[in-house]
């Protein structure tokens, strides 16, 4: 892991920043750094950036934030550091992400599935607390949809020369089935469960006989221990998982324009350039926060979105930034980092500043 990767990991999990709990912070960091590396290949000419910066600067007039006594909380950046949007001292807003898209429920218009329409596939097995849970895959091999729903009329473990062990209804683990029309070529399933908590010897059977709600029957070859009983769940169709849309703001690529030195005990004033490398405008209607750090100095603030409500395709906007540098900050070359505070995969930018 590079020093830059490690800094982003530490930054997003720093308990002193009072950020919302993110149990997947390690994954976010890993994905964000990986995407940042991909974006390094995006080259924007100096002439294009200058033209875009000039256009935004002319088009936008952004008022400075005022304190209660009417004094501006912004201070100017160094003369050679242009910016389009002035800094404001405002808290980071609540984290936002696009709404989860739930899958469309399956229709229930087709006739019930016949055994001849279904091919028995692999059996997925899992277990917990002394119970074994089986998902038996069923594929529609016919040319028309059929309805796979409800509990089978009968499920029984079978072995040659031995009495059937008939399943009772209801599971302790897993799903009872989400039924619907099973389209041609698509997968459905049946769930069954056994219990191994009893101390008696095993009693292995070699197959299951399943009588579907249509009255037709399937024979499913599988080894199953039914000494402690057998339970059956419902028939269902496999459904897509809920989809979490990508937050377009995660595509924004920051870069830092900072002076080479800063004096401990004074504010560091610098510029962050946010570039949209995509082919579509990225909205800032949900204004993000950001995290900035220079050695032990860290701050979580809100971006100034009062004037710029979106960043156009291929365009850049330069934001003025301030960070208080404490008097006891260790002297010497120190890494300055800046990252948007997003639920998705943030891109990190850094620069080295000499603390004097």
Q: How far apart are CA 273 and CA 257, in angstroms?
A: 7
Q: Going by C-beta distance under 8 Å and a sequence separation of 6 or more, which residues neighbour residue 190? A: 135, 136, 138, 152, 155, 177, 210, 232, 233, 234, 235, 236
What's the domain count of the chain?
A: 2
Assigned domain for 106 exists:
no
Assigned domain for 187 exists:
yes
**Cβ atoms 187, 136 nearer than 8 A:** no
Mean pLDDT, each 10-residue run in order, the chain (356 residues): 54 49 42 41 33 30 30 38 92 92 90 96 82 91 96 95 92 73 95 81 89 96 90 89 91 94 95 96 96 96 95 97 96 96 89 95
In three-state form (DSSP H/G/I as H, E/B as E, the rest C), the secondary structure along 50-110 is: HHHHHHHHHHCCCCCCECCCCCECCCCCCCCCCCCECCCCCECCCCCCCCCECCCCCCCCC
Q: Give backbone dihedrals phi and psi of 33, rounded to 5 degrees, phi first.
A: -65, -40
CATH number where 28 lies: 2.60.40.10
Spacing of C-alpha 81 from chain mean position: 36
Domain containing 46: what range? 3-100+245-355
Assigned domain for 182 exists:
yes
Q: Which helix (H) or strand (E) holds 33?
A: helix 25-39
Lookup: tokens for 288: 């993000």
Q: How far apart are CA 118 and CA 162, in angstroms?
A: 27
Residues 176 and 277 in one domain: no
Residues 331 and 220 in one domain: no
Q: How far apart are CA 257 and CA 106, in angstroms?
A: 53
Assigned domain for 52 exists:
yes
For position 89, what pLDDT does the model report?
A: 95
Q: How far apart are CA 52 and CA 313, in angstroms?
A: 11
Last-in-domain residue among 237, 271, 288: 237
CB burial of residue 190 (10 Å; 0-12, 13-18, 19+): buried
Cα Rg of the chain (Å, integer):
30
Last-in-domain residue among 219, 237, 255: 237
Query: Quick one: which of 317, 332, 331 has its CA closest to 58?
Result: 317
- Local structure of residue 113 (DSSP, 8 states): P
CATH number where 123 lies: 2.60.40
Residues 14 and 64 in one domain: yes
Assigned domain for 207 exists:
yes
Residues 205 and 260 in one domain: no
CB burial of residue 204 (10 Å; 0-12, 13-18, 19+): exposed
């Amino acid at each position: 892991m590079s020093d830059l990767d490690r800094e982003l990991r530490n930054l997003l999990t720093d308990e002193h920043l009072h950020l919302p709990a993110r149990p997947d912070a390690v994954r976010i960091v890993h994905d964000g750094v990986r995407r940042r590396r991909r974006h390094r290949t995006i080259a924007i000419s100096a002439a294009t950036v200058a033209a875009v910066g000039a256009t935004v600067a002319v088009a936008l007039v952004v008022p400075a934030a005022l304190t209660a006594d009417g004094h501006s909380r912004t201070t100017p950046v160094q003369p050679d550091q242009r910016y389009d949007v002035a800094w404001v001292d405002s808290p980071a807003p609540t984290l936002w992400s696009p709404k989860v898209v739930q899958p469309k429920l399956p229709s229930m218009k087709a006739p019930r599935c016949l055994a001849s329409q279904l091919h028995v596939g692999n059996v997925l097995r899992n277990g917990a607390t002394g119970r074994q849970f089986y998902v038996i895959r069923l594929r529609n091999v016919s040319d028309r949809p059929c309805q796979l729903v409800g509990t089978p009329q009968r499920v029984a473990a079978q072995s040659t020369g031995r009495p059937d062990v008939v399943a009772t209804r209801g599971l302790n683990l897993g799903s009872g089935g989400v039924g619907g029309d099973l389209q041609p070529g698509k997968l459905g399933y049946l769930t069954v469960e056994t219990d191994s908590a009893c101390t008696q010897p095993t009693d292995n059977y070699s197959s299951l006989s399943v009588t579907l709600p249509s009255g037709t029957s399937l024979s499913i070859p599988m080894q199953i221990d039914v000494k402690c009983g057998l339970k059956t769940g419902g028939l269902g169709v496999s459904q897509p998982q809920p989809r979490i849309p990508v937050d377009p703001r995660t595509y924004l690529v920051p870069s830092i324009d900072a002076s080479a030195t800063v004096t401990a005990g004074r504010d560091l004033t610098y510029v962050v350039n946010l570039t949209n490398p995509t082919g579509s405008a990225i909205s800032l209607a949900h204004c993000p926060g950001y995290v900035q750090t220079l050695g032990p100095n860290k701050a979580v603030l809100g971006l100034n979105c009062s004037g710029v409500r979106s960043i156009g395709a291929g365009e850049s906007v330069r934001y003025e930034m301030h960070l208080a540098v404490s008097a006891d900050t260790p002297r010497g070359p120190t890494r300055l980092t800046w990252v948007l505070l997003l639920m998705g995969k943030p891109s990190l930018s850094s620069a080295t500043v000499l603390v004097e």
